[in-house]
Amino acid sequence: MIPELGHFSLIVALLLAVVQGTLPLVGAQTGNASLMAVARPAALGQLAFIGLAFASLAYAFLTNDFSVKNVASNSFSQLPPVYRLTATWGSHEGSMLLWVLMLAGWTAALTVLSRRLPAQTRARVLGVLGLVSVGFLAFVVATSNPFERLLPPPADGRDLNPLLQDAGMILHPPMLYMGYVGFSVSFAFALAALLDGRLDAAWARWARPWTTVAWVFLTVGIALGSWWAYRELGWGGWWFWDPTENASLMPWLAGTALIHSLAVAERRGQLLAWTLFLSIATFAMSLLGTFLIRSGVLSSVHAFANDPARGLFILALLAVVIGGSLLLYAWRFPRGGAPEAFGWVSRESLLVANNALLLAALATVMLGTLYPLFLDALGFGKVSVGPPYFDAVFVPLFAPLLFLVAVGPLTPWRQGSAATLAHRMRWAFVGALVLAVAVPLAQGDIRPLAALGVFLGAWILFGVVVGLAQAPSRGSGLRTLPRGYWGMQVAHAGLAVMVLGITLVSNYQSERDVRMDVGDHVDLAGHRFVFKGATGHPGPNYVADRATVEVTTPGGGSFVLYPEKRKYNATGAGMTEAAVRTGVLGDLYVSLGEHLGGKAWSVRVYHKPFVGWLWAGGALMALGGLLAASDRRYRRAPAPAEAPA
Amino acid sequence: MKRWLPFAAFTVLLAFLFAGLWLDPREVPSPFIGKPAPAFTLPVLERPGQTFSPAQARGEPWLLNVWAPWCRTCRKEHPFLMQLAASGVRLYGLNWQDQAREAAALLAEIGNPYVLNAVDQDGRAGIDWGVTGVPETFLIDADGVVRAKHSGPLSERVWNRKFAPLLQGKGS
């Protein structure tokens, strides 16, 4: 009964979405206030009904209702309750339901927080979001019904994919989707502006905090995914250039470009048409990512769905939503804003460079990801594009970008002077150079790429220090600086921390792959690992062989790690559960390989210097985004609409 | 014209994505296509004491279906295999890496579409055939030459697209 209630709620939500996607847009066009007023109740009603549907599905999972096909395929009576809950979005159907729930959540937030928008703009923004929702709800109802029954019901479920039974997976998908879907808000703002036929700095001010928050979620989502892969895939990798990862990186790169061009649009009223285009492009990347993952056109370690009907539906959706928007963009090509007048050395020109480099990076990721598809479609055979390509193209694009990140915030709008900049950054330059030599020396091996990475990371960090120490503060002290400024500096510092982490772990990690009998030891990076044997250890829905590995640190301290090799009861699937000792200066990572007979096992030990900085950097970037989005100027009443039209 | 550029580029991208929907990225072309079928001599599951090698199947086109009782996806293609066998296709099985020896019992339960099954317990013959996972299906012509290969479960769609045209072309 409950699953049918959920299914019914979805259909009601779809009808409400149709209402929200049509009447307010008509109302805005004809100036009919009562039609425009429909948007708010329709959006809130939609959230309520999708929430009800989601709760029904979660209930079916929590109560082990295996007569629901989705539950039978993705859950198991012995699965711990927290993973039964996360299994709700562990399948294709469930994750699409999460998608529409997030969209309804963003829309509802917008209805509550957008009271200061002009009624017409507001109705159009909500109307566009309603149309997007129609597309996705129709997709769920028509091709991916999460409530489909299975008769007769099986005695037990087939269990959630063991890879997804991990703490990182509890929050990774919701965060990622919040980011993906959040870009629909800036997209809706862009379309509303095209429909309004008015584009000014006020538009950028409305769209900017929403975009920043979506970017924060996406950043956290990607970082969590990387942390999950690091701990769960058993070989300590944190990024694989897998098509699925690239699908999330593409909207991130576009979104990062967007939040920077929004700065120019808001502060200077320039690059407005470009910013509007980026808003469409960023959401296009979100949809493209969804399509790539959900259609199975690319082979990937986590290729989930592989159903041409679904792929076709999302492709049609992509064609209508993005194709339609780009047509609208071309037809009502936005004019307006201040003339683009700025010098070569200015904040504007640096932000243009930022956009150019980020979009070039986006293009290379997209090319690398879709290249196998292009060649296959043209009949040139099968190829795969791997990490060597991405590593080779990313470094030359990101190195100049990172170099400019330190300089950008110190450069004044309109016209700056290279000499002043050089003067302000002279000590930062010297300091970064010293570290670029000293840090690799301390690691015992000077590598050019390591020196470059350390230089760029340190250069940005010192730039942040200079920016805060010599801030253009109106009063005295750091307290008076606006949150937007703090947010930018914290996010840039986070980027620097991440760059340092990536550089050091890529260049100086070490590993040993050994056969270990009880009492054997292996030495790595000054640590001694002693294998104390493995014993059986039952878990809730698996049995594990749990090894005891005693580690002695160079300082003489010691601790114990317990890597596991699990076999899941429902499917018999094996999983490696690595044991990780996390530290500021690096991680020690032990994973248990195969049982080699007797009491011997193959064991892999890794030393991952500074790997934690990667995710700490991601967290700082997200924190910076939150600070910036909570700046006071977004909470004040908007400037009266007398900005240049 | 500049303003139409994004739309034009997007249209090209869409065309490729559309084409991509009908391609299977996991489908790796087999280097054995057009080459004589690799030889093996293995015990026959259904007739203890007998052995089978591909040379014995010559004279008419035949299929070699690599499967295992522990493989879930193989269960998915099983109904279609039954259908194929009923329509007169000569289907041979390669019972791959079946350490628990469950194949005979399973086939007795769900039905046996195979003329016979060769038992490749250590997976060595599978390696010679370039098998990367189960199920995989090979089409071998009357002269013992491999003509087609499919990785993943067989279905009506796959059959009509990859296998049926080759069989008709041979006039058989």
* Interface mutation target, options B17, B99, B157, chain A, most CBs of A under 10 Å: B17
Residue A639's pLDDT is 45
The verdict on B157 touching A (C-beta cutoff 8 Å) is no
Dump pLDDT digits (tens) for A106-165: 999 999 988 888 899 999 999 999 999 999 999 999 988 899 888 788 888 877 877 778
Stretch (H or E) spanning B92:
strand B91-96
How many angstroms away from the CA of B14 is the closest CA of chain A? 7
Write the CA distances from A236 to A232, A563, A568, A582, A608, integer angstroms.
8, 13, 22, 12, 8
- Chain A residue with Cα closest to B25: A299
Alpha carbon distance B62, B139 (integer Å): 6
Last residue of a domain, one of A113, A132, A161: A161
Q: A172 near A244, Cβ under 8 Å?
A: no
Residue A54's pLDDT is 95
Question: Count of residues for chain B?
Answer: 172
Q: A144 near A45, Cβ under 8 Å?
A: no
ipTM of predicted complex: 0.82
Q: Choose among A508, A491, A344, A332: nearest CA to A411.
A: A344
On chain A, the residues whose CB falls within 8 A of the CB of B11 are: 323
Q: Before A152, cis peptide (omega within 30)?
A: yes
Write the CA distances from A536 to A436, A575, A577, A614, integer angstroms.
48, 15, 14, 34
- Cβ-proximal residues to A115 (8 Å cutoff; 6+ apart), any chain: none
Rounded to a whole number of angstroms, the distance between the first and last alpha carbons of chain B is 57
Q: A500 near A610, Cβ under 8 Å?
A: yes
Alpha carbon distance A61, A94 (integer Å): 11
- Determine, yes or no, domain membership for A597: yes
How many angstroms away from the CA of A585 is the closest CA of chain B? 41
Alpha carbon distance A52, A121 (integer Å): 29
Residues 257 through 316 of chain A touching chain B, CB cutoff 8 Å: 277, 280-281, 284, 291, 295-299, 303, 308, 311-312, 315
Hey, is A546 helix, strand or coil?
Answer: strand
- Burial-class residue B108 by CB neighbours within 10 Å (0-12, 13-18, 19+): exposed
What is the number of structural domains in chain A?
Answer: 2
- Determine, yes or no, domain membership for A153: yes
Alpha carbon distance A625, A252 (integer Å): 13
Ordered mean pLDDT values, 10 residues apiece, chain A (645 residues):
92 96 93 91 96 94 89 86 88 90 95 88 94 94 88 80 78 90 94 88 90 96 91 81 88 96 89 92 92 70 54 89 92 72 87 94 92 82 80 91 92 86 90 93 88 95 89 63 90 96 92 90 91 89 90 91 87 82 91 85 91 95 94 66 36
Last residue of a domain, one of A143, A161, A179: A161
- Determine, yes or no, domain membership for A216: no
- Determine, yes or no, domain membership for A26: yes
Q: Which domain holds residue B47?
A: 35-169
How many angstroms away from the CA of B123 is the closest CA of chain A? 19
- Determine, yes or no, domain membership for B102: yes
On chain B, the residues whose CB falls within 8 A of the CB of A297 are: 17, 20-21, 23, 25
**Could you identify the residue written with the tokens 């790595």?**
A524
Alpha carbon distance A508, A523 (integer Å): 16
- Determine, yes or no, domain membership for B56: yes
Helix residue spans in A233-346 (DSSP H):
243-268, 272-295, 308-318, 324-331
- Determine, yes or no, domain membership for A179: no
The CATH number assigned to the domain holding B54 equals: 3.40.30.10
On chain A, the residues whose CB falls within 8 A of the CB of B13 are: 370
Q: Which two tokens stand for residue A536?
A: 């059986």
Dump pLDDT digits (tens) for A156-211: 887 787 777 877 778 888 899 999 999 999 999 999 999 988 888 888 989 999 99
**Could you identify the residue written with the tokens 């928007």?**
A325
- Determine, yes or no, domain membership for B25: no
Residue contact B20–A377, C-beta within 8 A: yes
DSSP codes, A460-515? HHHHHHHHHHT---SSSSGGGS-HHHHHHHHHHHHHHHHHHHHHHHHHH-EEEEEE
Alpha carbon distance A401, A353 (integer Å): 8
What is the number of structural domains in chain B?
Answer: 1
- Chain B residue with Cα closest to A334: B3
- Determine, yes or no, domain membership for A518: yes
Residue B100's pLDDT is 65
Q: Which residues of chain B have pLDDT under 70?
A: 1, 24-30, 99-100, 169-172
Q: What's the gap between Cα A166 and its chain centre?
A: 18
* Number of helical H runs and strand E runs in chain B: 6, 7
* Interface mutation target, options A277, A291, A321, A326, chain B, most CBs of B under 10 Å: A326
Within 10 A of A500 (CB to CB), how many other CB atoms are there? 24
- Determine, yes or no, domain membership for B6: no
Write the CA distances from A77 to A81, A83, A570, integer angstroms.
9, 11, 9
pTM above 0.80, yes or no: yes
b (16+ CB within 10 A) / e for A325-357: bbebbbeeebebbeeeebeebbbbbbbbebbeb
On chain A, the residues whose CB falls within 8 A of the CB of B17 are: 291, 297, 315, 318, 373
Residue B73's pLDDT is 74
Q: Which domain holds residue A516?
A: 511-610
- Determine, yes or no, domain membership for A563: yes
Q: B39 near B148, Cβ under 8 Å?
A: no
